[in-house]
A and B are shown apart, each in its own frame.
Chain A
Amino acid sequence: EDQVTQSPEALRLQEGESSSLNCSYTVSGLRGLFWYRQDPGKGPEFLFTLYSAGEEKEKERLKATLTKKESFLHITAPKPEDSATYLCAVQAFNAGGTSYGKLTFGQGTILTVHP
C-alpha cells in the first residue's frame, strides 16, 4: 500500500526565514510525486511534478527536490502570502506497469509566515 507522510504538521516562520518541508513516501514503483498548495476553504493548486531521484524544480521562492525515499519543498525568504497548507502526493505504477492516475496524499504541512 502506498504511503505518504509529511513533516512537520505545522511550521511557523518569520518573513525572510528560509526552511524546508519534508515528504517521505513508500510506493511500489514511483510514477510521479506531486506538490500542491491549498488555501483555506479552497481546492489545492498544482505546483510541481517530480519523476525521478535527483530531479529539481523551481517556481519563485519554492524549490522541490526528490530522492528515492523523500521529497523536500524548500522555501527561500518566504513572504506572508506563502502561508498555506502544502500537500504532497504520489502516483504509482500498477502491477501491469501502467497507472490509472490515482494519487495518494499526505496529511499536509500548514505553513504560517509572519511579517
Chain B
Amino acid sequence: DGGITQSPKYLFRKEGQNVTLSCEQNLNHDAMYWYRQDPGQGLRLIYYSQIVNDFQKGDIAEGYSVSREKKESFPLTVTSAQKNPTAFYLCASSLDPRDRGSGYTFGSGTRLTVV
C-alpha cells in the first residue's frame, strides 16, 4: 500500500543531543513537508522540499535541519539548538505543488520528548 512512514513513533532526547526523525514515502510525490504540532496550536511548518536536493525554511526552522537526497526520503534532525523540542512531528507529501488543490498525505507522526 502506498503511504508515508514515519519512525520512530516515540523518541526521547537528552539535553544537548541531536536526534533524527525519519520520513519515507512511496507515493511518488514531488513535495514533502515537516510540521510541528503542539497542544492547542495549529500545525506549524518547519521545512519543505519541492524537488530532490532542494528545500526551504518554513516558519519555525531555527534549531532544525533537513536533507532531500532521494525523492522518497526527507529526514528531519532536531539539533541541540532547538530549545523546546517536545512536540508531535508530522511529515507530509503532495503531488507537484503547482497542481491546484493537491491535498497532503500525512504520516502517523513522531512524538518527541526531552528527558
Cβ 8 A contact of A43, one of B40, B94, B106: B106
CB of B109 within 8 A of CB of A103, answer no
CB of B42 within 8 A of CB of A99, answer no
Contacting A at CB under 8 A, from B92-115, are 92, 94, 97-98, 100-109, 111
CB of B45 within 8 A of CB of A102, answer yes
A49 within 8 A of B: yes
CB of B94 within 8 A of CB of A101, answer yes
A54 within 8 A of B: no
Q: Which residues of B contact A36 (CB under 8 A)?
A: 104, 106
Q: Which residues of A contact B42 (CB under 8 A)?
A: 4, 87, 104-108
Kindly state the separation between the CA atoms of A6 and B57 in the bound complex, as whole angstroms.
26
- What string of 1s and 0s marks CB contacts (under 8 Å) between A77-115 and chain B? 000000000010101000000111111111110000000
Closest to B105 in A: A46
Instruction: Say whether, besides A43-B90, A102-B58, A108-B42, A32 and B108 are in contact (CB < 8 Å).
Output: no
Kindly state the separation between the CA atoms of A75 and B9 in the bound complex, as whole angstroms.
31
CB of B109 within 8 A of CB of A45, answer no
Q: Closest Cβ of chain B: how far from A39's Cβ, in Å?
A: 10
Kindly state the separation between the CA atoms of A55 and B94 in the bound complex, as whole angstroms.
23
A63 within 8 A of B: no
Q: Which residues of A contact B97 (CB under 8 A)?
A: 99-102
Closest to A50 in B: B101
Contacting A at CB under 8 A, from B49-107, are 50, 56, 58, 90, 92, 94, 97-98, 100-107
Q: Which chain A residues have a beta carbon within 8 Å of chain B's beta carbons?
A: 4, 9, 31-32, 34, 36, 41-46, 49, 51, 87, 89, 91, 98-108
